[in-house]
């Protein structure tokens, strides 16, 4: 399939780019998208939440009151979970939430998300550009030609362009990704996807089996 190429002014140029049907016109797999997004969110979890058990609480081991004669329940120490400041029962402990999914599932999810963006007409192929000034206002001016300020926008680059990344980092709801490091979550929730012309050519080969 052929796609129109837009200039940074938001106008259609005379150029077109060929998009591989095996990448941008596949049947959308909701299951693969679900597993890919769930995997990304799980891998981002820090897992450092921690509570102290009765063995770790800094309290004295002395008996709070005598065993008999008080009418109270028998108490061995103040570290009991039923006391204020005592240990926690079955509280969270540091753990690793990350796991892996099959490579084929991830690739199929990315192809599905790219195809879905093309089908819903929220993907624009933009001619290659860079922000030499690294200024946020220059990047915001380009993005304004394609999406409103409050819309979640994804920019797909051919490589790791430090100028574009630096100019975009202070703009809310804008996520800059390299073609070989796409995020399923950002592609799913992105309202507009701006793909550089060179990135489109790289994706034709990168996600083609």
Q: What are phi and psi of 15, to 5 degrees?
A: -85, 155
Residue 207 is predicted with a pLDDT of 84
pLDDT in tens, 10-44: 888 888 999 999 999 999 999 999 999 999 999 99
- Residue 134 to residue 155: CA distance in whole angstroms: 15
Which value, in Å, is the radius of gyration of the alpha carbons in the chain?
27
Could you give all domains of the chain from N- to C-terminal order, each with its CATH number? 2-45+100-206 (3.40.1370.10), 48-96 (no CATH)
Q: Please determine, for residue 161, whether its predicted confidence score (pLDDT) is greater than 90.
A: no
């Amino acid at each position: 399939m052929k796609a129109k190429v837009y200039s940074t002014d938001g106008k259609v140029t005379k150029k077109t780019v060929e998009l591989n049907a095996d990448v941008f016109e596949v049947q959308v797999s909701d299951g693969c998208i679900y597993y890919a997004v769930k995997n990304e969110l799980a891998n981002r979890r820090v897992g450092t939440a921690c509570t102290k058990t009765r063995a770790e609480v800094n309290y004295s081991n002395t008996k709070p009151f005598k065993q008999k004669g008080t009418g109270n329940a028998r108490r061995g120490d103040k570290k009991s979970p039923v006391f204020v400041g005592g240990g926690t029962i079955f509280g969270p402990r540091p753990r690793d939430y990350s796991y892996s999914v099959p490579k084929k599932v991830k690739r199929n999810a990315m192809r599905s998300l790219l195809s879905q963006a093309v089908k819903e007409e929220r993907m624009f192929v933009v001619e290659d550009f860079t922000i030499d000034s690294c200024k946020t206002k220059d990047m915001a001016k380009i993005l304004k030609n394609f999406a409103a300020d409050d819309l979640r926008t994804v920019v797909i680059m051919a490589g790791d362009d430090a100028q574009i990344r630096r100019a975009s980092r202070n703009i809310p709801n804008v996520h800059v990704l390299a073609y070989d490091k796409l995020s399923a979550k950002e592609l799913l929730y992105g309202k507009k996807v701006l793909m550089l012309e060179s990135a489109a050519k790289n994706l034709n080969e990168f996600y083609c089996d």
